[in-house]
């Protein structure tokens, strides 16, 4: 059995690590696909997919879609940009949902799936979970659960984050604070601005939640396979 994880965030950053942790928790064969660097155009609503349920736009969407369609389960993760799921993640789901719904085909109907959300502050992921929830429901996926954590703003590595008054770093730390490795959010170091002890405790809890979600996803996949 294969579980495919798709990350719509930056390559090698927090969204990817959280998706990979959920995959780890499944204990099944897994494959991770990053949308970073891939061209995924938004849906043009051209109706070119009506007869075949396949998108006619030529970019990297089809190759990712084929792996998702072939998998027994799905983990999808995306970061929050301006109080919504980032555009690349939304474009992927626009294409997937529109191509699949013609003549009520819904090719992912009943496939077990998990949602991963990342934001740059408290780690609630409410906006991404709201957006993904609507797409997952439209695709008729079997939603097993979700997990959310706090990642790093791009301001942590842009080179000007320590001095930019409108940047994410100074929304967490007082002026004059330097950007050090132990102040960058990660899976092991959640909300480091709250202090080392709290950050480590939150990180451990998040990792456990991600692994537990992976385990629940695997159980649903196996149960579905046994009933096939």
How many CB atoms lie under 10 A from the CB of residue 64?
20
Could you give the maximum distance between any two Cα atoms of the chain, in Å?
A: 60
Q: What is the pLDDT of residue 227?
A: 79
**Rounded-to-integer distance, Cα 17 and Cα 4, Å:** 14
Q: What is the pTM of this model?
A: 0.94
Token pair in block for residue 129? 């979970």
Q: Computed over its alpha carbons, how large is the radius of gyration of the chain?
A: 18
Question: Is residue 121 over pLDDT 80?
Answer: no
Tens-digit pLDDT profile for residues 139-165: 999 999 999 999 989 999 999 999 999
Domain ranges in the chain are: 2-151+186-227
Residue 228: pLDDT band by 50, 70, 90 thresholds?
low
Helix pair 87-101, 61-70: axis angle to 10 deg: 60
Token pair in block for residue 52? 């075949």
Of 139, 41, 39, nearest in space to 99 by CA: 139
Cβ-contact 40, 226 below 8 angstroms: no
| Inter-CA distances, 162 with 102, 159, 180, 185, 193, Å | 50, 8, 10, 15, 14
State the average pLDDT for the chain. 94
What letter does residue 85 receive in the DSSP assignment? B
Please state which CATH class domain 2-151+186-227 belongs to: alpha beta
Tens-digit pLDDT profile for residues 18-59: 999 999 999 999 999 999 999 999 999 999 999 999 999 999
Tens-digit pLDDT profile for residues 66-82: 999 999 999 999 999 99
């Amino acid at each position: 059995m294969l579980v495919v994880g798709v990350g719509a965030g930056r390559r090698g950053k927090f969204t990817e690590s959280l998706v990979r942790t959920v995959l780890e928790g499944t204990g099944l064969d897994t494959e991770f696909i990053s949308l970073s660097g891939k061209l995924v155009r938004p849906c043009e609503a051209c109706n070119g997919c009506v007869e075949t349920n396949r998108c006619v736009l030529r970019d990297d969407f089809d190759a990712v879609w084929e792996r998702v369609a072939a998998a027994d389960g799905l983990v999808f993760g995306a970061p929050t940009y301006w109080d919504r799921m980032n555009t690349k993640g939304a474009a992927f789901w626009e294409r997937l949902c529109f191509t699949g719904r013609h003549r009520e085909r819904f090719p992912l109907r009943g496939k077990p799936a998990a949602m991963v959300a990342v934001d740059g502050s408290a780690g609630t992921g409410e906006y991404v979970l709201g957006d993904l929830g609507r797409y997952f429901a439209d695709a008729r996926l079997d939603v097993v659960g979700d997990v959310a954590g706090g990642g790093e703003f791009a301001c942590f590595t842009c080179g000007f984050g320590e001095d930019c008054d409108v940047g994410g770093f100074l929304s967490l730390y007082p002026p004059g604070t330097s950007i050090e490795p132990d102040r960058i959010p990660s899976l092991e170091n959640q909300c480091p601005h709250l202090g080392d002890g709290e950050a480590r405790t939150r990180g451990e809890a998040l990792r456990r939640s991600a692994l537990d979600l992976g385990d629940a996803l695997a159980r649903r996949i196996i149960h579905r396979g046994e009933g096939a």
